[in-house]
Amino acid sequence: MKHIPIIPVPIEETELALFEERRKIYPRSQKGWFSSWRWVLVFFTQLMFYGTAWLNWNGRQAVLFDLTTRKFYIFGLVFWPQDFIYLAVLLVISALTLFLFTAVAGRLFCGYACPQTVYTEIFLWIEKKIEGERPARMKLDAAPLSARKFSLKFSKHTAWIVFALWTGFTFVGYFTPIHQLASEVTSLTLGPWETFWLLFYGFATYGNAGWMREQVCKYMCPYARFQSAMFDKDTLIVTYDTERGEPRGARNKKIDYKASGLGSCVDCSICVQVCPTGIDIRNGLQYECIACGACIDGCDQVMDKMGYARGLIRYTTEHALNRKLDSKAMWQRVFRLRTLIYSGILGLIILLTALSLAYHLPLKVDVIRDRGMPKVTEAGAIENVYKLQVMNTQEVPRRYSVAVKGADGALILNNVDISVTAASTTAFPVRVRIPAAALQPGSNRIRFVVKDLDSPDITVTEKAVFIMPR
């Protein structure tokens, strides 16, 4: 066999970075319809977040998640650990709402209501107020350190930190009464857990909205990754109309650009400069796009200046774009079977939850039978002892009566007209005597009926077992 010599081939060494190098983004300010709506949402969500914590209801904080007493107060409602089902329902409603919005309008939530977007918008606003517009910020960052640069950067970070700490304080104020928290902060007597969470939440806000910004959306947010599974060709997305825009190129406003073989895009790059995630929407739909609409506003203004029709970049669907559907046909397809099913399920769950809350009885009863042996009386009757736990979920004291049903001659031996203070639980023993002839030997079902003496329509019946000796 002939020996074939192996000739070594030189391998060219190429060094590849494991991570893409971050390119700092300096979004240009943009005015327009979508930008106004974004600010409306910023004001609305922040007013809700910072304002609600200070509202009072019935002499207490209106919204308070009191973990120490394990009671959640939401205006007139008090939720106990037993109401965990409502938390599960809330999560289901949130998930379905997100599915619905994503199927209809893509990442609408990301662009307008996500806390990351909202805080980034606020932090950017502070940055612009202190460092100036996009060119000034770029120039400042490129310049060597000077007294002016130091003072601008110092002012910006101080403002960011103050705002972030205020956000952390408000967050903790939903778990510790906010007035008490405020006096603890001012008197420097804040507890270790409150201090930890205030600083943790404040630091997270500062880091995410001040430093990481679009990196959170691009690399950390799981929703950005799985939202494409909820998209289809009838989902509204921010799209560049390639057919109308290409070939792009600079031109004189006065020329007939169509006759010159050009499309509507003047290649001004405004759409890229205003983009908070720094992408070029003309390259097609990208997962980094948070559907904020800033590029639509920017491009529309360019179109206005050029005297061209608006909408070179617009919210539309893939089907509408490819099949040239008019807006009526497009909207008919947006509200398709899938979105109608989501809406139907969502509406039904919300309706059932609202009904359940409306008819939610402010009284809960638990019965536990004492494990001791039943007592046989001289008269031949049998006694069983129970522990009744009565929970008054109203924020006023209530009085209750207890009766036992399910056997002839059944009676309660001790006094069971009880009072329970506001939003609290009382446990007490109940001795039940039943004539031996009234029930079969073994386990028998009886019922305890607990009635609110001030509102007799508030009545709870709870089953229990009565042991009759054999």
Q: What are phi and psi of 65, to 5 degrees?
A: -100, 90
Residue 281 C-beta: closest distance to ligand SF4, Å: 4
Q: Which stretch binds ligand SF4 (CB under 6 A): 40-48, 191-199, 238-246, 456-464?
A: 238-246
Phi-psi sector, 409: left (phi>0), alpha (psi -120 to 50), beta: left
Helix (H) or strand (E) holding 431: strand 424-435
Q: How far apart are the C-alpha atoms of 21 and 97, rounded to whole Å?
A: 36
The residue among 282 and 451 lying less far from ligand SF4, judged by its C-beta, is 282
Residue 121 C-beta: closest distance to ligand SF4, Å: 12
How many of the other CB atoms lie within 10 Å of CB of 349?
A: 14
236 lines the binding site for ligand SF4 (CB under 6 A): no
Pick the binder of ligand SF4 from 158, 183, 260, 269 (CB under 6 A): 269
275 lines the binding site for ligand SF4 (CB under 6 A): yes
270 lines the binding site for ligand SF4 (CB under 6 A): yes
Contacts of 58 (CB under 8 A, 6+ apart): 76, 395
263 lines the binding site for ligand SF4 (CB under 6 A): no
Cα–Cα distances in Å, from 209 out to 25, 79, 120?
13, 33, 4
Q: How far apart are the C-alpha atoms of 305 and 307, rounded to whole Å?
A: 5
114 lines the binding site for ligand SF4 (CB under 6 A): no
Question: What is the rounded radius of gyration, in angstroms, for the C-alpha atoms of the chain?
Answer: 33
Residue with tokens 């924020």: 395
**Helix axis angle, 147-172 to 178-186, nearest 10°:** 140
273 lines the binding site for ligand SF4 (CB under 6 A): no
Closest CA to 271 of 280, 261, 284, 263: 280
Give the three-state DSSP class for 369: strand
Here's the x/- map for ligand SF4, 159-188, by CB under 6 A: it reads as ------------------------------
Contacts of 317 (CB under 8 A, 6+ apart): 233, 234, 235, 236, 237, 325, 330, 333, 334
271 lines the binding site for ligand SF4 (CB under 6 A): yes
293 lines the binding site for ligand SF4 (CB under 6 A): yes
Q: How far apart are the C-alpha atoms of 151 and 140, rounded to whole Å?
A: 12
313 lines the binding site for ligand SF4 (CB under 6 A): yes
210 lines the binding site for ligand SF4 (CB under 6 A): no
106 lines the binding site for ligand SF4 (CB under 6 A): no
Residue 137 C-beta: closest distance to ligand SF4, Å: 18
217 lines the binding site for ligand SF4 (CB under 6 A): no
- Quote the tokens at residue 238: 């921010």
Residue 300 C-beta: closest distance to ligand SF4, Å: 8
Pick the binder of ligand SF4 from 230, 291, 330, 404 (CB under 6 A): 291
Pick the binder of ligand SF4 from 118, 181, 212, 265 (CB under 6 A): 265
Q: How far apart are the C-alpha atoms of 426 and 420, rounded to whole Å?
A: 6
224 lines the binding site for ligand SF4 (CB under 6 A): no
118 lines the binding site for ligand SF4 (CB under 6 A): no
108 lines the binding site for ligand SF4 (CB under 6 A): no
Residue 236 C-beta: closest distance to ligand SF4, Å: 11
Helix (H) or strand (E) holding 430: strand 424-435
334 lines the binding site for ligand SF4 (CB under 6 A): no
Q: Which stretch binds ligand SF4 (CB under 6 A): 75-83, 163-171, 264-272, 457-465?
A: 264-272
The residue among 42 and 299 lying less far from ligand SF4, judged by its C-beta, is 299
Give the residues across from 239 on adjacent strands: 314
Residue with tokens 């023993």: 429
Q: Which stretch binds ligand SF4 (CB under 6 A): 12-20, 290-298, 363-371, 442-450?
A: 290-298
Give the residues across from 468 on adjacent strands: 442
Pick the binder of ligand SF4 from 161, 268, 349, 436 (CB under 6 A): 268
Query: Long-range contacts of range 298-307, CB-CB < 8 Å, 24 or more positions apart?
Result: 298/28, 298/30, 298/32, 298/270, 298/271, 298/273, 298/274, 299/270, 299/271, 300/32, 301/32, 301/270, 302/266, 302/268, 302/270, 303/264, 305/253, 306/253, 306/264, 306/266, 307/253
Residue 259 C-beta: closest distance to ligand SF4, Å: 19
Residue 286 C-beta: closest distance to ligand SF4, Å: 7
Contacts of 248 (CB under 8 A, 6+ apart): 262, 263, 265, 266, 267, 282
Greatest CA separation for the chain: 114
267 lines the binding site for ligand SF4 (CB under 6 A): yes
279 lines the binding site for ligand SF4 (CB under 6 A): yes
289 lines the binding site for ligand SF4 (CB under 6 A): yes
The residue among 271 and 439 lying less far from ligand SF4, judged by its C-beta, is 271
Residue 242 C-beta: closest distance to ligand SF4, Å: 10
Q: How many residues sit in the footprint of ligand SF4 (CB under 6 A)?
A: 30
Residue 135 C-beta: closest distance to ligand SF4, Å: 17
Residues in the site for ligand SF4, rule: CB under 6 A? 238, 240, 245, 248, 265-271, 274-277, 279, 281-282, 289-295, 298-299, 302, 312-313
